[in-house]
């Protein structure tokens, strides 16, 4: 009669275990940054109902950028919805070779008013959510000024997108023939 070997003599048991080395995670196509997150309350007959409203900016730092909003009962779901919305409303920014913009643009969205201009050798000179939009679009040599006194970061981001959209229609002219 053969004796059964113990688990230590047979070697370690490998069934149902995870592999020791984790595979490198695939880098997502778009980076995202949350611009604003709010807890919204609505009063019902049974009490208060809470939900979360999220505004985020998504971009690939190569000329594509978008702003999206999502609302759900829990934050991760709201973020997911906002990201889907941002991808759906993505624009392609018309950039120069030195990662700047060809000319000054300005736009108004709701009460937010923004002016974006090229700033050679200065980096990104912008504040608030406009900076996030310019950064995730991949622009490097630009300056932006919020001309309104609006503190609504979602509307400021939408104003920046609207201004960058004006660059889309303007193509760079080639002076040599």
Mean predicted confidence (pLDDT) in 7-18 = 58
> What's residue 36's pLDDT?
96
In a domain? residue 20: no
Q: What percent of the chain has pLDDT over 70?
A: 80
Domain count, the chain: 1
Give me the CATH number covering residue 44: 3.30.160.20
* Residues counted in the chain: 177
The pLDDT of residue 177 is: 46
Kindly state whether residue 6 falls inside one of the protein's structural domains.
no
**Beta-strand pair 112-118/47-59:** unpaired
Domain-embedded: residue 8? no
Per residue in 44-101, pLDDT (tens digit) is 999 999 999 999 999 999 999 999 999 999 999 999 999 999 999 999 999 999 999 9
Q: Is residue 115 part of a domain?
A: yes
Q: Which has more pLDDT, 15 or 40? A: 40
For 44, the domain range is 31-169
């Amino acid at each position: 009669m053969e004796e059964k070997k113990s688990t230590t003599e047979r070697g370690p048991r490998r069934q149902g275990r995870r592999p020791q080395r984790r595979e490198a995670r695939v880098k997502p196509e778009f980076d995202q940054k949350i611009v604003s997150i709010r807890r919204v309350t609505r009063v019902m007959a049974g009490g208060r109902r809470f939900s979360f409203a999220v505004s985020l900016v998504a971009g690939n730092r190569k000329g594509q950028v978008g702003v999206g909003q999502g609302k759900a009962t829990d934050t991760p779901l709201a973020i997911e919805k906002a990201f889907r919305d941002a991808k759906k409303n993505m624009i392609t920014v018309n950039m120069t070779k030195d990662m700047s913009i060809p000319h000054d643009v300005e736009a108004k969205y709701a009460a937010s008013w923004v002016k974006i201009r090229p700033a050679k050798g200065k980096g990104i000179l912008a504040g608030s959510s406009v900076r996030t939009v310019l950064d995730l679009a991949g622009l490097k040599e630009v300056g932006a000024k919020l001309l309104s006194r609006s503190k609504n970061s979602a509307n400021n981001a939408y104003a920046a997108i609207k201004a960058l959209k004006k660059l889309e229609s303007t193509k760079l002219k080639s002076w040599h023939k």
